[in-house]
Chain A
Amino acid sequence: MSDIDLQDQAIQVDTEKGNFKYPENYEFDAGIGLTEDTVKYISDVKDDPDWVREFRLKALEVFKKKPMPTKWADKDLENIDFDKIRYYLSKGQQPARSWDDVPDDVKETFERLGIPEQERKFLAGVEAQFDSEASYSRMKEDLEKEGVIFVGSSEGLAEYPEIFKPYFGKVIPTADNKFSALNSATFSGGSFIYVPKGVKLKQPLQAYFRINAENFGQFERTLIIADEDSEITYMEGCTAPKFETATLHSAVVELVALKNAKIQYITVQNWSSNVFNLVTKRGMADEGAEVKWIDCNIGSRLTMKYPGVVLKGKGARGEVLSIALANDGQHQDTGAKMMHLADNTTSNIISKSISIGKGRSTYRGQVHMPKHLKNCKNNTECDALLINTNSRTDTYPAITTRGQNNTVQHEASVSKVSAEQIFYMMQRGLSEGEAMSLAVNGFVNELMKAFPMEYSVELKRLIDMEMEGSVG
């Protein structure tokens, strides 16, 4: 009943807490800029099998050929200088199974972020990535006995190629977009998870992505496979210190939910304000399966992210619940994609965006229902909240529906926090920041009820901090 009791369990990913860094001291460094040699260096360090080497080099070609999507996207993308980015940095360590074996500075980083404590409290397993590679990875023993695999992506492709290879790059092909190609060429880190038939994980697995080095690009690659009738919840948190120069985070996340499986993927990102966050996330749902994305985007300079679900089997369900908060100088360009490819498939998109000051929010939605399908349903709701008149919000829904008995429902709203509402709350004793924060929390309240408790508490705290900071 009380938030207070839960606060102890909150996942600590706030910006102030994340705003520290340790001296850079790396065993392996691919240098600055991106060439074939950079990609080969990464392959050498990681001792990639031949098929992965080829996969990377092909992806590099695709990346070079594809233009920046500035025809429709934010022109700020042109300010990314690919020749000044460092593509691989690691201390050469294997992911430790005990925090005692993690290098001291890395361990202290994650301790300050509260990760080991959370692991003890409510997680079934944790992977912590520091720049390019996982520095810690561990899962509860009983899950290991049930055959659950939770390792870094490098370990996944080396140790479990028979499961990894058939699905890798299948949900999101290399050429999907420029940044998925970039990731395919340079990927390192990220998680590989396999949940065997019928195994239902009661507690979530968590990954934590931390950027420590300046001018760095983090390109983690995550693949989650939930076999028939299995269930899994995966959560990721992200932070970086406040750097002077732009930093790039470009991940690819692929989810595969086989017959009647359920995958829930939760993100709370709280990037500092000079991170370009350009991420491709997509899930595939087989017959009767369910893929649900819960995506909270706070911080970053520009985020472009449209989690999608390919509803491949009959009766599959897809859902995207997202919250984006764009503060001064930030652009949250987010949305969802739902591809209906079978009868009786349903999808649900609920998007809430908040724009503060000169912050900008964009919603892009794509729902595709081809002619030959029957009894498909989509519900899309996108609501925007504007705080002060400089804020900007755009909505670009693209819904194509053909066929019989297919229904789509689309609602959009834009509302403002008025000066009179703020005055009313301040008359009761709240500061201006507290009043705005309460209004924002009220705006996302209904949606947050769908989130696991630990995350809604944390999200509330992050919103409070953003709003406090936005009042001059």
Chain B
Amino acid sequence: MNHSLEVKNLHVSIDGQAILKGFNLTVPKGEVHALMGPNGTGKSTLAKVMAGHEDYIVESGEVLLDGVNILGQEPDEISHAGLFLAFQYPMEIPGVSIANFIRAAKQARLPEGEEINAIEYYKELYAKMDALKMDRKFTARSLNEGFSGGEKKRCEILQMAMLDPKYCVMDETDSGLDIDALRIVSEGVNLMRSEDRAFLVITHYQRLLDYIVPDVVHVMFDGRIVHSGDKELAKELESKGYDWVKEAFATASA
């Protein structure tokens, strides 16, 4: 079995406009890959397509989890297959508490007739909240409703930790975070790093990668990866700016 998240020659469009144009990527378990690039190159589209969003049209290509193509599956099936997407803009769900939401998500993974053990569930929830320095009172608040940017992102990482996915896709998790929140969120992610799990960290800025140190950095431009390297590449990008990417690769992709 192939233990990786693999995207093969993916072409995606929305409203007749091509966004992903032959995107290729392999993230093996145990590794953290960063995907960087200027705005509007298709980073968030990639994240949503992998999670099964129905607004996008997949023209061709595959997204394989452990060798199995997940394109065309329902978002909940993809979630059960082990892919977690930490949203750039998490949705507010009024009246549904964090505790009940995560519990429902865990319950949905159990075979029919099996019930979550409530005591063990709360034990695990509180332990993970402590690690993310979240107040326990938080569990009773409505999911993301009236949360600050930092609270929303911490809540995404809490869900990720509780659902124990094999493949974590994090879409601009650093946006809207101050430096303290950034550190706490990163520590939460680092605690989850393991041989059995892969991360794809989508970000616009190098700053996040000081805390979540990637094994590989990819640069995306105009719907595909144009350059890959180690963590130093992120720093190079930071100093040279994305104009450098545009100049270096605009001609190549034309």
Name A residues whose Cβ lies closer than 8 Å to a Cβ of B: 1-2, 4-5, 415, 418-421, 423-432, 434, 438-439, 441-446
- Contact across chains for A427 and B51 when beta carbons are under 8 A apart: yes
Bound-state CA distance A425–B92 (Å) is 10
Q: Give bound CA distance, A415 to B87, whole Å.
A: 23
A10 to chain B, nearest CB (A): 14
Quick check: B75 and A426 within 8 Å, CB to CB? Answer: yes
CB-CB under 8 A from B101, the residues of chain A are 425, 428, 438
Main secondary structure on A side of the interface with B: helix
Query: Told that A426-B75, A438-B96 touch, could you supply 4 new A-B pairs with CB distance under 8 A?
Result: A415-B94, A427-B51, A427-B78, A439-B96
A432, A434, A442, most chain B CB atoms within 10 A: A442
Q: Is there contact, CB below 8 Å, between A446 and B80?
A: no
Closest B residue, CB atoms, query A442: B95
Stretch at the interface among B10-18, B104-112, B194-202, B217-225: B104-112
Considering the chains assembled together, what is the distance between the CA atoms of A427 and B108 in angstroms?
12
| B82-118 interface bits toward A, Cβ cutoff 8 Å, 1 = contact, 0 = none | 0011010011111110001110111011000001101
Query: Is the C-beta of B163 less than 8 angstroms from some C-beta in chain A?
Result: yes
Q: Which residue of A2, A430, A442 is within 8 Å of B108 (Cβ)?
A: A430
**A1-B118, A441-B96 known; A434-B104 Cβ under 8 A:** yes
CB distance from B124 to the nearest CB of A (A): 14
> How far does the alpha carbon of A424 sit from the alpha carbon of B79 in the complex, in Å?
11
A421 touches B93 (CB 8 A): yes
A434 to B109, CA, bound (A): 12
CA distance A430 to B93 in the complex (A): 14
Known: A434-B104, A438-B101, A442-B142. A428 touches B93 (CB 8 A): no
Cβ of B94: which chain A residues have Cβ within 8 Å of it? Answer: 415, 442-443
Is the Cβ of B96 less than 8 Å from the Cβ of A427? no
Partner of B163, one of A1, A4, A428: A428
Residues of A within 8 A of B100 (CB): 438
Q: How far is the CA of A443 from the CA of B104 in the complex (A)?
A: 16
Q: Please, which residues of chain B bring their CB within 8 A of the CB of A423? A: 51, 53-54, 75
**A residues within 8 A CB of B78?**
427
List residues of chain A with CB within 8 A of the CB of B115.
Answer: 4
Write the nearest CB–CB distance from B191 to chain A, whole angstroms: 20
A233 to B96: give the CA distance in the assembly, Å: 28
Among A4, A419, A429, A441, the one with the most B-chain Cβ atoms within 10 Å of its Cβ is A429
Say whether B238 faces chain A, with CB atoms less than 8 Å apart. no
Q: How far is the CB of B20 from chain A (nearest CB, A)?
A: 19
Most buried by B among A425, A428, A438: A428
- B74 within 8 Å of A (CB atoms): yes
B76 within 8 A of A: yes
User: Is B95's CB under 8 angstroms from A426's CB?
Assistant: no
Residues of B within 8 A of A427 (CB): 51-52, 75-76, 78-79, 84-85, 87
> Are B87 and A431 closer than 8 Å at their CB atoms?
no
- Asked if B173 is at the interface (CB within 8 A of a chain A CB), the reply is no
* Chain B contacts for A425, CB-based, 8 A: 91, 93, 101, 105
> Using Cβ atoms and an 8 Å threshold, which residues of chain A touch B54?
419, 423
Contact A428 B91 (CB under 8 A): no
Instruction: Give B87's nearest chain A residue, CB to CB.
Output: A424
**10 A-B residue contacts at CB 8 Å?**
A4-B118, A419-B54, A421-B93, A424-B93, A425-B93, A427-B52, A427-B87, A432-B74, A432-B76, A444-B95
B186 within 8 A of partner (CB): no
Is B159 engaged at the interface, CB distance under 8 Å to the other chain?
yes
Residue of B nearest to A418 (CB): B91
Which B residues, 52 to 80, have Cβ-Cβ distances below 8 Å to chain A? 52-54, 74-76, 78-80
Residues of B within 8 A of A419 (CB): 54
